Amino acid sequence: METILEQQRRLHEEKERLMDAMRKESLHTKTTLRENINSDHRLKLLMDRTSEVASTLTDLYLDKDDMRKDEVKAIAGPNEFQEFYKRLKEIKDFHRKHPDEIFVPMSMEFDELEKARENPTDDMNNLVQFSDEESYGKFLDLHECYSKFINIKGVEKISYVRYLENFDKLFEISRDKKNKSYKNYIGALLDYLISFCQRVKPLLDLKEEYKKVEKSFEEEWEKADFPGWGKEAGSAMAHSGAHLDLSAFSSADELASLGLDRLKSALMALNLKCGGTLDQRAERLFSTKGRTMDELKPSLFAKNKQSKKEDPNRGKDIAFLEAQVYHLMELLSEQRQATRENVQRRQARTENEREDEGEEVVSESDSDDEEDEIIYNPKNLPLGWDGKPIPYWLYKLHGLNINYNCEICGNQTYRGPKAFQRHFSEWRHAHGMRCLGIPNTAHFANVTQIEDALALWTKIKQTKNSERWNPEHEEEFEDSAGNVVTKKTFDDLQRQGLL
DSSP characters for 59-121?
A: HHHHTTTSHHHHHHHHHHSTTHHHHHHHHHHHHHHHHHH-TT-----HHHHHHHHHHHHHS--
Question: Is 373 in contact with 418 (CB distance < 8 Å)?
Answer: no
To the nearest 10 degrees (0 to 180), the angle between helices 33-62 and 364-372 is 100
Pinpoint the alpha helices (H) of 408-449: 416-422, 427-436
Selection from 21, 19, 8 nearest residue 62 by Cα: 8
195-248 tens-digit pLDDT: 999 999 999 999 999 999 999 889 888 887 788 776 545 444 444 456 677 766
Selection from 345, 316, 328, 344 nearest residue 145 by Cα: 328
Extended beta strands in 379-425, E state: 403-406, 412-415
pLDDT of residue 1: 56
Backbone angles phi, psi at 389, to 5 degrees: -60, 140
Question: Is 138 in contact with 338 (CB distance < 8 Å)?
Answer: yes
pLDDT of residue 303: 64
Three-state secondary-structure class, residue 480: coil
pLDDT of residue 197: 93
Contacts of 273 (CB under 8 A, 6+ apart): 267, 284, 300, 301, 302
Question: Is 338 in contact with 139 (CB distance < 8 Å)?
Answer: yes
Residue numbers in the chain where pLDDT is lower than 70: 1, 230-243, 247-248, 303-312, 349-374, 385-386
- What number of residues does the chain have? 499
pLDDT of residue 308: 45
406-416 burial, b for 16+ CB within 10 Å, e for fewer?
bebbeeeebbb
pLDDT of residue 310: 53
Question: Is 371 in contact with 35 (CB distance < 8 Å)?
Answer: no
63-89 tens-digit pLDDT: 888 888 888 888 887 777 887 888 888
350-375 burial, b for 16+ CB within 10 Å, e for fewer?
eeeeeeeeeeeeeeeeebbeebeeee
Backbone angles phi, psi at 411, to 5 degrees: 60, 35
CA 387 → CA 30, 287, 343, 345, distances in Å? 21, 69, 14, 10
Question: Is 171 in contact with 303 (CB distance < 8 Å)?
Answer: no
Q: 202: buried, middle or exposed (CB in 10 Å: 19+, 13-18, 0-12)?
A: buried
- Chain center to CA of 58: 40
Three-state secondary-structure class, residue 403: strand
Q: Which residues pair with 485 in a beta bridge?
A: 477
